Chains A and B, each alone.
Chain A
Amino acid sequence: MVNRRKTICIRLWNFLFLLFVGQNVLGQSKLLKVSVINDQHQGISAHIVAGALTAVTDSTGTALLHLSPGRYLVTISAVGYSGSSQGIVLYSDTTIAFVLQKSTTQLKPITIEADRILQLNQMSSHLLSIEQMKKLPTLMGEIDPLKSITLLPGVKNAGDAGNGIYVRGGGPDENLVLMDGITVYNPTHLLGAFSIFNGDAVKNISVIKGGMPAEYGGRLSSVISVTSREGNKDSLKFNGGIGLISSRLTVEGPLSKGKSSFIISARRSYIDQLARWIAPDSIGNNGYYFYDVNAKLNIELNAANSISLNFYTGRDNFNYDKNESTDRYRHFKANWGNTLAGATWKSQISRKIQQELSIFHNSFELGSSITYNTDGILFSSGLVDYQVKNDWMYLPSDRLKLKAGWQGTWHQFKPGAGSTSAGEQEFISKINKQYGREAAGYLSADWDISNRLNILAGLRVSYFDQVGPKTDVVYGKDGVPTGKTIAYKKGQRIAKYMYPEPRLAMRYLFDRETSIKLSYTRTVQYLHLATTSAATFPSDLWVPVSRLIKPGVADQVAAGFFKDFSKGYEFSAEAYYKQMDNELEFMPGAQLLLNQNIESEMIFGTGKAYGLELLLKKKTGPLTGWIGYTLSRTERTFAELNGGKPFPYRYDRTHDLSVVANYELSEKWTFSGLFVFSTGNALTMPNGRFVYNLGFNFSNDSPIYTNINRYGKINDYRMPAYHRLDLSATFTPNPESTRRFKSHWILSVYNVYNRSNPYFIYIDVDENKKTIQGKQVTLFPILPSISWNFNF
């Protein structure tokens, strides 16, 4: 046993020696830094080929390559831009910049990656640029990055509305949604109908469904990352749009020409203003609106250092008052929203070392009040995060990239404060705030073992502890408080967890057109979203792990086959299997708001998801687009539910198909269409009923009773399938115009054939007529929209 250990140690040492020393000895490489920008001095996503090496630019349009001294032809390609190439002689560290012009001769393709996905070592990921999103048909003219990614295999949404995004069988709280690296807890307006990401302020959105790099963590299922746009570094620009439900305006320009820039983008919906204008008497002060403001500063301190400052704030406001009769009065008022702020310093310390230091703050707040006659509820909740993050990248050779970093987050949870009233009686509740400290460190190596084989291996170690101040009420088994309390001082540890999260991905290139990829990912999640319903709401609470609530842990393996065909076709097939532990559900009928003893309502179980995702893309030519198909199964198992037997997850969808097509008829006209089909959501429907709370009315000799439903298997009923066709046309009146002012119109039709897709199903029971009728409610019928967009 000792000898075996010794052998392993020696082998490991040899491996490390070869990894670090051997590569340096053999390499003696030179650093080629390639910067790719567009004519507005904005970094763009581009694919770089230099000799036998390929690379993809980062969010700033920069890529680093280590090459042996020699002559190279550097070729750049990017979606929507004319390609470019340049011959160089590399004898020392060199920086070259490419300024790509928008393609005029080549028709702009709509693809979902700017690069050749088969060559990336990252699997199960997709990137959509804003140019691609703009070409997709929209709901009421609003470009929506979050909705766009649900057209990709393995990424699903709840239906026509709903905050939730469900990735490979995970729950809506299991996605790490980032905006410029800052976590967003509630990324939608109007309960999921629209996302908070204003299309004018967004550069691209990416989603990683599996094989997550070690720098990401904290959620089980995916990383959804939105990168906001940088301002124009050349001249002052305005652009905006007027749509059916909202309008947008963006101002951007240089702070220091060619080096630093700003961008401010704002959007506001005006349903409320239109309604008041059309029917001032009936609408009164009732109404709903949302707004959001994005701002970003990019400051280039010198060739090696830059700082970016990001800010976002957005709110939803809703007010409803109604006097139903003299003695019946309803009132509901709510406002909620996110505020995000971040500062990032990027530094090229040496030709081989980069670092990025970020400080982030985010908060989500909800305030609401409801009054009905003498009864009333006031409720507020929210959470606040402060985060520090530091990432380092070291390039010891042209075949090896090392990354390391750490991050620490201070969480403050405000589970709810409020009061309920019954006439003069007021029950004031204030649920204790909770505090958590989350930290993680990681190390990863991206190693081209040969020209064909690449391994991306990493280890992330994450830590979470819940700390005081907090006073816990001790409850008995029956849910009755015992009268005892446990008080924790400020900073005193209540519960702590630490998990290693190994990550491993492998890519093997058979040839320039074919590759296979494998990955294994362990992810750990320390926060849970408390919701009992099939949808997520602003009132849903995030709760940290505690002594009772354990972290969620997911293990996923995935395998993929990737193939490029001629004529711009690209095909990929990925299969995955995911096991999830400590999945959280709430007891049926659980009271979540203003419940000090919320943990007693929780139950814990496991989840399992597996599936096959197919994607065929056409990337070039006048007709471009993709067909995505997912065949999958997602289950949950809880001892307390369904007799302890596995049951389908609510968003288990056997089949999920999306077809996206874009056709450029001319410079003036572009047409797009999308078709989606998916198996209906799983529901628990009653399998019987009974009468209870009986009484008798002798005036008419009739019984008095309440009908109660009886339920059997969980999620055993399927809603009708969801399918929909959307079409849009973009008209640019003067594409050849050299004038500064340019504009285009987008005509969009949502749900072209007016499919009645189920938003929810209920049963209408008429006890007088003795009839039972199933009812289906549809949210969006056919909805045409038009928007006018301009820039100058």
Chain B
Amino acid sequence: MKKSNYSNGYIFILLLLLLCNSCEKNIDLNLDKTPPMLVVEAYINNSLRTYNYVIIGKTVNFNESQFANTAVEKATVTITEGDFEKGKGYQWNTASKVTMKEGKTPGMHGLYVPGAYFDPKLTTDSSHALLGKPGKAYLLEIVAEGRKYTAITTLPIPVPIDSLTNTPPFKDDSGKILARLTVHYTDPDTLGNAQIYYWGNRYTKNTFGWGALSTDRYLPNTDELVNGQAIHITHSAPLPIGDTAIYYLVSIERPVYDFWDSFNKARVNSGPFSTPVVLKSNIKGSNVVGCFSGFAVSSMKHVMK
């Protein structure tokens, strides 16, 4: 099922506003101030070593003019690989522990971003830098400003992409010839599996990070409706003809899916009758929000025709 605001009745509000002579004015908002909360954005995937990173920041009061990440520097950040064994729980391989560091990396074009933690091997021995393995569990441990935070994520088995195609091309108002990308894959025959979709093209070539890629995310009910079936999804955003798209079909476990689902709801939750959405964090600790996302990635390239 596609993400939609329909459920919140925005379309009906549109009707009311269209028909009525509504007007708008600026008002002063006297909002509460609260102590900052730690924000963790962490990824482990099996395909892109440079895209395994941890970003730590803080919340700010709503009225502050600070918009970029409020970095939390000099934190101790480690990621450890392990397995989940029935009856025993998680078994962590301490030898696999990687200490993530702030620093310049090739993926970041040598840019130093405070609060962004990478495997230092990316600069010294990139072929042995941290890389997730499907089926494995990962433990994230953070000590920041004297407090400890942990999170666990598991990489599912990646779902292979059968093929990528595009819709017939069309010309937009500016004369550009565009088409829409369609991904074809077979949904795994296990209930509750979830996928999210990322892709890059010429527009994202000079960028870095999961947040810089184009994306589309689907709701959990989808799997019940299409379990085990062939899937053909056309993404709404058009791409230029002749462009080479690189597509990432990302399989995720349920808690990670729940986080990104709540993130999507929070992202668009600015309408008149919206309810406050609180992110479904999988980070444990006091006064913290965020997600340690285990991404099981399969990828494919496609030239838009």
Residue numbers of A with Cβ under 8 A of B are 161, 190-191, 193, 271, 288, 318, 320, 325-327, 332, 334, 368, 370, 372-375, 377, 379, 420-425, 427-429, 473, 476, 478-483, 532-535, 537-540, 586, 588-589, 591-597, 684-699, 701, 703-714, 716-717, 720, 756, 759-763, 767, 770-781, 783
Closest partner residue, chain B, to A536 (CB atom): B9
21 interchain pairs, CB-CB under 8 A: A190-B15, A190-B19, A191-B13, A288-B18, A320-B15, A421-B2, A479-B192, A539-B6, A539-B7, A592-B7, A595-B221, A597-B221, A689-B59, A695-B211, A698-B109, A704-B212, A708-B266, A709-B276, A710-B34, A756-B23, A776-B25
Contact A775 B211 (CB under 8 A): no
Interface centre among A327, A372, A482 (most CB of B within 10 A): A327
Question: Once the chains are docked, how many angstroms separate the CA of A483 from the CA of B191?
Answer: 7
Query: CB distance A775 to B25 under 8 Å?
Result: yes
A425 and B232 contact, CB distance less than 8 A? yes
Q: Are A594 and B1 in contact (CB under 8 A)?
A: yes
- Given A271-B19, A325-B172, CB of A710 within 8 Å of CB of B7: no
B6 touches A370 (CB 8 A): yes
Contact between B225 and A429, CB atoms less than 8 A apart: yes
Q: Are B16 and A191 in contact (CB under 8 A)?
A: yes
**Contacts of A379 on B, CB cut-off 8 Å?**
6
Q: Are A688 and B219 in contact (CB under 8 A)?
A: no
Among the stretches B129-137, B143-151, B233-241, the one at the interface with A is B233-241
- Across the interface, do B69 and A478 meet the contact criterion of CB distance under 8 Å? no
Give the docked Cα–Cα distance between A86 and B80 (Å): 97
Residues of B within 8 A of A368 (CB): 11
With contact pairs A332-B11, A539-B7, A774-B26 given, residues A692 and B41 touching in the complex (Cβ less than 8 Å): yes
Inter-chain CA distance A193–B108, complex, in Å, is: 54
Of B84-92, B153-161, B257-265, the one with at least 4 CB within 8 A of chain A: B257-265
Once A377-B4, A688-B61, A716-B32 are accepted as A-B contacts, the answer to whether A756 and B222 lie under 8 Å apart by CB is no
A539: nearest residue on chain B (CB-CB)?
Answer: B9
Is B299 among interface residues, defined by CB-CB distance under 8 A?
no
Q: Shortest beta-carbon distance, B209 to chain A, in Å?
A: 3
A-B contact count (CB 8 A): 319
Of the 9-residue stretches B94-102, B120-128, B244-252, B267-275, which lies at the interface with chain A? B267-275
The answer to whether A687 and B32 have CB atoms under 8 Å apart is yes
Are the CB atoms of B236 and A193 closer together than 8 Å? no
Residues of B within 8 Å of A760, CB to CB, are 272-273
The binding surface of chain A is classed by DSSP as strand
CA A767 to CA B65, docked complex, whole Å: 9
CA distance A714 to B32 in the complex (A): 12
Min CB–CB distance B212 → chain A (angstroms): 3
The residues in B between 166 and 189 inclusive whose CB is less than 8 angstroms from any CB of A are: 167, 170-173, 178, 180, 182
Q: Smallest CB–CB gap between A583 and chain B, Å?
A: 15
Known contacts being A533-B273, A695-B212, A711-B278, is A589 close to B4, with CB within 8 Å?
A: no
Contact among B41, B178, B277 for A589, CB-based, below 8 A: B277
Question: Size of chain B's interface in residues, with CB distance under 8 A?
Answer: 104
Q: A533-B275, A596-B221 are in contact. Are A709 and B266 (CB under 8 A)?
A: yes
B207, A704: Cβ atoms closer than 8 Å? yes
CA distance A594 to B68 in the complex (A): 37
List of B residues within 8 angstroms of A781 by Cβ? 21, 23
Question: Do B233 and A422 touch across chains, with their CB atoms under 8 A apart?
Answer: yes
Contact A697 B212 (CB under 8 A): yes
What is the chain A residue whose CB lies nearest that of B30?
A717
Tell which of B29, B220, B254, B263 touches A763, judged by Cβ atoms closer than 8 Å.
B29
A482–B68 CA distance with the chains assembled, in angstroms = 42
B75 at the interface (CB under 8 A from A): no
Would A778 and B1 be within 8 Å (CB), given that A326-B170, A696-B113, A698-B109 are in contact? no
**Residue of A325, A424, A586, A690 with most partner-chain B CB within 10 A:** A690
Chain A residues with CB under 8 Å of B28's CB are: 774
A452 to B236, CA, bound (A): 74
Whether B233 lies near A425 (C-beta < 8 A) is yes
Check A684 against B276 for contact (C-beta < 8 Å): yes
A696 and B212 contacting across the interface, CB-CB below 8 Å = yes
B13 to chain A, nearest CB (A): 8
Contact, CB under 8 Å: A429 / B221:
yes
B residues near A, CB below 8 A? 1-2, 4, 6-9, 11-29, 31-34, 36-37, 39, 41, 55, 57-63, 65, 67-70, 108-109, 111, 113, 167, 170-173, 178, 180, 182, 191-192, 206-213, 219-222, 224-226, 231-236, 238, 254-255, 258, 262-263, 265-267, 269-279, 289-290
> Is A374 in contact with B69, judged by CB distance below 8 angstroms?
no
What residues of chain B lie closer than 8 Å to A429, measured between beta carbons?
1, 221, 225
Contacts of B68 in A (CB 8 A): 691, 703, 705
Residues A686 and B258 in contact, CB atoms below 8 Å apart: no
B31 touches A685 (CB 8 A): yes
B275 touches A588 (CB 8 A): yes
B65 x A688 contact (CB < 8 A): no
Residue of A161, A476, A709, A720 with most partner-chain B CB within 10 A: A709
Closest partner residue, chain A, to B16 (CB atom): A191
**B contact patch SS:** mixed
With A370-B11, A427-B1, A687-B31 known to touch, is A780 a contact of B21 (CB < 8 Å)? Answer: yes
Which 4 pairs show the lowest CB-CB distances between chains A and B?
A423-B234, A695-B212, A480-B192, A760-B272
Complex: chain A residue closest to B68, CB-CB: A703
Chain A residues in 8 Å Cβ range of B254: 478-480
- The answer to whether A759 and B272 have CB atoms under 8 Å apart is yes
Q: In the complex where A271-B19, A696-B209 touch, is A326 in contact with B6 (Cβ < 8 A)?
A: no
A589 with B171: CB separation less than 8 A = no
The answer on a CB contact under 8 Å between B109 and A709 is: no
Cβ A535 vs Cβ B233 within 8 A: no
A422 near B276 with CB under 8 A, answer no
Identify B62's interface contact among A473, A593, A697, A772, CB under 8 A: A772
Nearest chain B CB to A379 CB, angstrom units: 7
Out of A327, A694, A778, which one reaches B211, CB within 8 Å? A694
Within 8 Å CB of B17, what residues of A? 777, 779
Contact yes or no, B172 A326, CB < 8 A: yes
Chain A: minimal CB distance from B102 (Å):
14
Flag if A422 contacts B234 (CB, 8 Å). Answer: yes
Q: Is the CB of B37 within 8 A of A690?
A: yes
CB contacts (< 8 Å) of B62 on chain A: these are 686-689, 709-710, 763, 772
- Known contacts A479-B254, A774-B27; decide if A191 and B15 are in contact (CB<8 Å): yes
Contact (Cβ within 8 A) A696 B207: yes
CB <8 Å contact, B170 and A327? yes
Expressed in whole angstroms, the Cα–Cα distance for A679 and B232 within the complex equals: 52
Residue from the list A161, A589, A688, A689 in contact with B269, Cβ < 8 A = A589
A717 touches B212 (CB 8 A): no
Q: Are A694 and B263 CB-contacts (below 8 A) given A478-B254, A592-B7, A762-B272?
A: no
Residue of A nearest to B4 (CB): A377
Q: How long is the Cα–Cα vector from A692 to B264 in the complex, in angstroms? A: 11
Chain A: CB-nearest residue to B180: A374
Given the known A-B contacts A589-B269, A690-B39, are A161 and B16 also in contact in the complex, defined by CB atoms under 8 Å?
yes
CA distance A377 to B2 in the complex (A): 9
CB <8 Å contact, A690 and B57 = yes
**Within the complex, which residue of A327, A481, A690 is in contact with B60, where a contact is CB–CB below 8 Å?**
A690
Task: Please state if A589 and B16 are interface contacts (CB–CB under 8 Å).
Answer: no
Which of B4, B13, B29, B289 is A690 in contact with, Cβ under 8 Å? B289
Known contacts A690-B60, A772-B65; 11 further A-B pairs (Cβ under 8 A): A326-B173, A535-B273, A687-B31, A687-B32, A688-B62, A693-B41, A694-B211, A695-B209, A708-B263, A709-B269, A712-B32
Q: How far is the CA of A774 from the CA of B9 in the complex (A)?
A: 22
Residues of chain A with a CB closer than 8 A to B63's CB: 772
Chain B's closest residue to A537 (CB) is B9
CB distance from B151 to the nearest CB of A (A): 15
Q: What residue in chain A is nearest B69 (Cβ atoms)? A: A691
CB-nearest residue of chain B relative to A760?
Answer: B272
A588 touches B278 (CB 8 A): yes
Given contacts A427-B226, A589-B266, A689-B59, contact A422 B108 (CB under 8 A): no
| Partner of B235 from A422, A473, A588 at Cβ < 8 Å | A422
